[in-house]
Chains A and B, each alone.
Chain A
Amino acid sequence: MSEMSRAANYLLGLTMLYYSAPRQADRKKNPVAWCSSIAPVEFLRALDVLPLFPENHAALIGARKMGVELAEAAEAIGYSNDICSYARADIGHILTGKSPVDGLARPDFLVCCNNICGTVVKWYENLARHFQVPLFLLDTPFNHEREIPEFSLRYVEAQLRELIPWLEGVTGREFDFERFREICLLTNETSRLWREVLDLAKHRPAPFTAFDTFNYMAPIVTMRGTPEALEYYRLLLEELRQKVNEGAAAVGAEKYRLLWNGIPVWFALRPMLQLMSRHGANLVCSTYTSAWVLEFDPDNLLGSMAEAYTAILINQSLGLKLDNLEKLLREYGLDGIIHHSNRSCKPYCFGLYDLSRQLQAGSHPVPEMIFDGDQTDPRHFSWAQFETRFQSFMETLAASSSG
């Protein structure tokens, strides 16, 4: 067995545990909660709650090409084809019981944080109605400014304080602040390692692709705040550092280093990777995977958590999104950007055209490509369009690098 497969095997085990533990759990000891993708799970872990993430599961549904079937099941009861395909896939899985992993265990309660979109609020309202379970909404007001207003942070922090007695009420368990602190520190440490993993792609050639990171990211999303997630990133980092030392390249002759801006097209990862590799293009980083780098101040846990969970990039202004792109372009030595105009994720892609315009007018313009797609629903994606645009993008890159 190679070094690589050790982390990969560990990840496989973790994933199985993540899905199976809630199914087998004694709900009195380990209640199960469904959570939006960047919700403050540290509170839940402190009460031995097992969180499940419908969005993550929907991504898997997409990757296993079950997106259309499950979306259609939701559409059959009146859900519009226009709404987020994660939501449709999740609701379809609830209605049909179909899933690549035997489905998500039934929730005892729900925790929704709108730092990623307003869609999750509506989605969770409907989940609460369907399962007849309590729902906590953590509202993290969108930030249109450079700095998050102080009164927003105070409001978010107040809700985090309210989450504690709410959780004690729904779980019948007592909140242990010391345990919570340990879990927050675990999140800090895991986030740090995750950041280090992502940063290894700064090496030329990059030892992995962003496609790999879409796989590596599962534990930081679903198991954040556990020793197991930390252990996984320790193993992964060790293996990837080894690769760097060996000078291993994910894409044979790395000619172009690209950034992915958006949620992956889960059902088309492999053909995209193959297409890019053929052109010597490596997708070395994405704006997506770094969303889960969360760090809290041990001396001001709740205040810093309020800020960390509000400061998720798609919850902030176009100006900050531009700053982030320019920072990544510099730090990773990138040659171009692929933007996913994703029909399912409005907050991620409304504003993309002006973001691109501003980038071109700024100090570090690079060639860009925008394509129309969807994260889970192939009915809203055309491979022919993607391939054509990618080829002309490659021509632009070739022209600009030779010029």
Chain B
Amino acid sequence: MEHVLQSLLEAARNPAPAIAGWKQASGGKVVGWLPIYVPEELIHAAGALPVSLWGGKTEIARADAHLQGFACSVVRAVLEYGLKGTYNMVDGFIFPSTCDHIQNTSDIWAAVFPDRPKFDLVYPANRRSSASAAYLEQLFTALQEWLEGLTGCRPSETKLRESIGTYNRYRSLSAELASLRSARPECLTGLEFALITKAALFMEKEEYNRRLAELLPWLANRTVRPQPKVRLVASGIMAEPEEILEILDELGGVVVADDLALGARTLRAPSDERLPPLSALVDRHLRLGPCSTLYDCRKERGAHLLGLAARHNADGVLFLSMKFCEAEEFDYPVVKAELEAAGLPHLFLEVEQQMSALGQVRTRLQAFLEILAQGPKL
């Protein structure tokens, strides 16, 4: 079973060969999408391979001619990869209206690559209007038409239902993996967990589900490390660069639950399979959250983190703040005050995908974990 695990880790770290392999074998189209929420089910049903583009650790050189250095590292990396040809195997791109950075990078992308197919998924930021669902339904219909133009395939309702089922299965298997992480954190390193989660971004979900389903019973008996000294909730856009997780693993800190966009936030909320397919996807989007990028006048994230910490018996919260991500940066002071009021310790770490000097991160993590290891559990 070790080889199944290794195949997932490899897919996460080096997705290009697998994507190229899929393309060659199937003759299908590859659709790349930017974070955070895209109804992959529609892409999957149209017979294309959805690939999620969350940037990565690459030196920024070409992108600087198009985008200022105070754009977040995700969009800078996406633009860089686009410019240096990493995405040449991607046939179409979806830019959701997640934030000003992605929204405006979409226009830059159009200026740089006028001939590459692109769809702008401009979500209703107000999900409480009586018109939100109708708007979303129109938006998803437009996305379907665009996908049809790209793939030549207009999926039947049965096919759409199957795709929704596949994705629900993907989410429930991911939830099982997450439960296992909390119940038996000794079965995986933090980095392994993150890479398994990430592998899903590049793989056909039937295949991913098959491997994950194989892996879960094996993991239930696997032991790769001692019982954790400190249990943590991780919150933020993503736990990258992966060196942060390596350091954490080394220091004996274990993330037992997360509120990461590249993680639990996208894996929540199964679609309601009783609804017509498009309505099910609309309904799911309207139920997503809490998330810094989804408007929330009640600011439920702090309460959500406290709930996660209580349910998973966590000693503290690791707030991984993506530099220049306003959504996260505006949430932090509110979350900070709530965690402090509740007496739950947290560590604020500013992260960038391209960061290389992690000495300070190590020092701060070490100090934080030492304090938590001494402190009483909540």
Q: Size range of the interface on A?
A: 35 or more
B125's nearest neighbour on chain A, judged by CB, is A139
Q: Is the CB of B107 within 8 A of A144?
A: yes
Q: Is the CB of B111 within 8 A of A357?
A: yes
Q: Is the CB of B107 within 8 A of A318?
A: yes
Q: Which of B107, B142, B329, B336 contacts A317 (CB 8 A)?
A: B107
Q: Is the CB of B111 within 8 A of A154?
A: no
Q: Is A135 an interface residue (CB 8 A)?
A: yes
B332's nearest neighbour on chain A, judged by CB, is A78
Residues of A within 8 A of B333 (CB): 74, 77-79, 126
Q: Is the CB of A351 within 8 A of B111?
A: yes
With A118-B326, A126-B330, A152-B135 in contact, is A137–B111 under 8 Å at CB? no
CB distance from A109 to the nearest CB of B (A): 11
Q: Size range of the interface on B?
A: 35 or more
Q: Is the CB of A141 within 8 A of B124?
A: yes
Residues of A within 8 A of B99 (CB): 118
Q: Is the CB of B326 within 8 A of A159?
A: no
Question: How many Å lie between the Cα of A126 and that of B301 in the bound state?
Answer: 12
Q: Is B153 an interface residue (CB 8 A)?
A: no
Q: Is A396 an interface residue (CB 8 A)?
A: no
Q: Is A138 an interface residue (CB 8 A)?
A: yes
Residues of A within 8 A of B107 (CB): 144, 317-318, 351, 354
Q: Is the CB of B104 within 8 A of A114?
A: no
Q: Is the CB of A350 within 8 A of B125?
A: no
Q: Is A10 an interface residue (CB 8 A)?
A: no
Cβ contacts B221-258/A at 8 Å (1 or 0 each): 00000000000000000000000000000000000000
Which residues of B in the span 95-151 have a Cβ within 8 Å of any Cβ on A?
Answer: 97, 99-101, 103-108, 110-112, 120, 122-126, 129-132, 134-135, 138-139, 142
B335's nearest neighbour on chain A, judged by CB, is A78
Residues of B within 8 A of A304 (CB): none
Residues of B within 8 A of A280 (CB): none
Q: Is the CB of B129 within 8 A of A119?
A: no
Cβ contacts B279-307/A at 8 Å (1 or 0 each): 00000000000001001110100000000
Residues of B within 8 A of A352 (CB): 68
Q: Is the CB of B129 within 8 A of A155?
A: yes
Cβ contacts B50-73/A at 8 Å (1 or 0 each): 000000000000000111101100
Residues of A within 8 A of B163 (CB): none
Question: How many Å lie between the Cα of A87 and that of B333 in the bound state?
Answer: 13
Question: How many Å lie between the Cα of A122 and that of B331 in the bound state?
Answer: 8
Most buried by B among A121, A129, A149, A343: A121
Q: Is the CB of A349 within 8 A of B131?
A: no
With A122-B327, A125-B297 in contact, is A142–B103 under 8 Å at CB? yes
Q: Is the CB of A346 within 8 A of B334?
A: no
Q: Is the CB of A84 within 8 A of B295?
A: no
With A128-B297, A351-B104, A351-B107 in contact, is A82–B70 under 8 Å at CB? yes
Question: How many Å lie between the Cα of A249 and that of B161 in the bound state?
Answer: 70
Q: Is A174 an interface residue (CB 8 A)?
A: no
Q: Is A293 an interface residue (CB 8 A)?
A: no
Q: Which of A158, A341, A350 contacts B130 (CB 8 A)?
A: A158
Residues of B within 8 A of A124 (CB): 297
Question: How many Å lie between the Cα of A135 and that of B299 in the bound state?
Answer: 12
Cβ contacts A127-159/B at 8 Å (1 or 0 each): 011000011011101111000010110110011
Q: Is the CB of B295 within 8 A of A125?
A: yes
Residues of A within 8 A of B208 (CB): none
Which residues of A in the span 324-342 have a Cβ within 8 Å of any Cβ on B?
Answer: 341
Which residues of A in the span 351-369 have a Cβ within 8 Å of any Cβ on B?
Answer: 351-354, 357-358
Residues of B within 8 A of A349 (CB): 68
Q: Is A248 an interface residue (CB 8 A)?
A: no
Q: Is B321 an interface residue (CB 8 A)?
A: yes
A159's nearest neighbour on chain B, judged by CB, is B129
Q: Is the CB of B67 within 8 A of A114?
A: no
CB distance from A362 to the nearest CB of B (A): 12
Q: Is the CB of B112 within 8 A of A354?
A: yes
Q: Is B154 an interface residue (CB 8 A)?
A: no
Residues of A within 8 A of B126 (CB): 137-139, 159
15 examples of A-B residue contacts, CB within 8 angstroms: A77-B333, A82-B323, A117-B100, A118-B100, A119-B100, A122-B327, A122-B331, A129-B334, A137-B125, A139-B129, A139-B295, A141-B122, A142-B103, A152-B122, A350-B104
Known: A125-B297, A141-B97. 16 other contacts (CB 8 A): A77-B337, A84-B326, A87-B330, A118-B327, A119-B326, A121-B295, A125-B330, A128-B299, A139-B126, A141-B122, A143-B122, A144-B107, A149-B142, A151-B139, A159-B129, A341-B68
- Chain A positions within 8 Å of B, measured between CB atoms, are 74, 77-80, 82-84, 87, 114, 117-119, 121-126, 128-129, 134-135, 137-139, 141-144, 149, 151-152, 154-155, 158-159, 162, 317-318, 341, 343, 346-347, 349-354, 357-358
- Identify the 3 closest CB pairs spanning chains A and B, nearest first: A158-B131, A122-B330, A78-B333
